[in-house]
Amino acid sequence: MKIAAYGFAEDQGKKLGRILKLSRTNPYCLVDFDPNSLPDLLLVFGEEQFQQPPIAELPPSFQSRLILVGKKKPTTTDRPHIGYPLISSRVLSALDRLTSANEEFFQQETTAEIKEQDNQYEKYVEQAVQQQNQPQAEESAKSTGYRVLVVDDSVPMQKALAIELKSQFDQIEIEFADEGLQALDMVQQNHYDFIFLDIMMPGIDGFETCTRMRKIEGLKKLPIIMLSSKTSPLDEVKGIMSGSSTYLTKPIDSAEFQKVMGRITKWIDNFASE
């Protein structure tokens, strides 16, 4: 990920470059600032620099990727800020947070890709229905009596998870939420045994939703399974940091799904008996 700096003294620019190399979660590298070839993130030293033409003339869509560096806090609360002098942990933590907030810039999906993903989910649902209707040579032991919340804005994915859950559990109640804020309202009004939580959703993403859920009394130990269409180690690390219990890649693999559910339900049963 390309990071540029504007308004830094030469020695501080070199120090910033050394700090970026210390990151273990994101591959940051320091590049020269070029308005015609914008970096992924831009660190600006001093709030007065935002009035200078090179920064003031940047496109509005790039403004959310600007970070103020300085001793004084920004006059507006919506601008990310890194205190000065530069401290490695402080710098990397701020960059990681902004990277997560701007994930749509770094993991862009074209309309064609989204359509193809939906097609894959539809095919997956059809296959799951066919498998469900076929006689099984050997049925796995089924658990009963669970209430589940599925948080995902994809209707095909909601259907796919419902099929998987109903094929594994004799009695299960499934509720759905299309986005994070709706899910937060639901978990405060209802009891769930475990939650499936998509990462990429309208509004607040799955990471932020999970973080907020963990702050709610009674949800600190609730199993939360994060869902992602990308097999990214970074997503897994972010999920763990936000409080997720485990991680599944979409479309769901039935064998892997059963393994995860086996671990989750075993933990729930043991926890409930204590």
Per-residue pLDDT of 169-205, as tens digits, reads 888 999 999 999 999 999 999 999 999 999 988 888 8
pLDDT of the residue at 102: 53
Is the pLDDT at 114 greater than 80? The verdict is: no
What number is the average pLDDT over the span 27-47?
Answer: 90
pLDDT of the residue at 270: 75
What number is the average pLDDT over the span 265-273?
Answer: 74
| Cα(99)–Cα(95) distance, integer angstroms | 6
The answer to whether the peptide bond before residue 251 is cis (omega within 30 degrees of 0) is yes
Q: Which pLDDT band, with edges at 50, 70 and 90, does 271 fall under?
A: low
pLDDT of the residue at 139: 42
Task: Please provide the average confidence, as pLDDT, over all residues in the chain.
Answer: 81
Q: Tell which wins on pLDDT, 271 or 86.
A: 86
- Reported pTM: 0.52
Judge whether 260 and 246 are in contact, CB under 8 Å: yes
Q: Tell which wins on pLDDT, 224 or 40.
A: 224
Is the pLDDT at 6 greater than 50? The verdict is: yes
Q: Which of 205, 206, 180, 175 is nearest to 192 (CA)?
A: 175
Q: Which fold has domain 2-106?
A: Rossmann fold (3.40.50)
pLDDT digits (tens, 9 = 90+) for 78-104: 678 898 999 988 888 888 776 665 554
pLDDT digits (tens, 9 = 90+) for 205-263: 899 999 999 999 889 889 999 998 765 666 677 788 889 998 888 888 888 898 999 88
pLDDT of the residue at 233: 66
2-106 matches 115-132+141-273 in fold: yes
pLDDT of the residue at 111: 46
What number is the average pLDDT over the span 34-48?
Answer: 90
Q: Which pLDDT band, with edges at 50, 70 and 90, does 138 fall under?
A: very low
Phi and psi at 248, nearest 5°, equal -130, 140
What number is the average pLDDT over the span 103-118?
Answer: 48
Structure tokens given for 242: 């936000």
Question: The domain 115-132+141-273: what is its CATH number?
Answer: 3.40.50.2300
Ordered by start, the domain boundaries in the chain are 2-106, 115-132+141-273
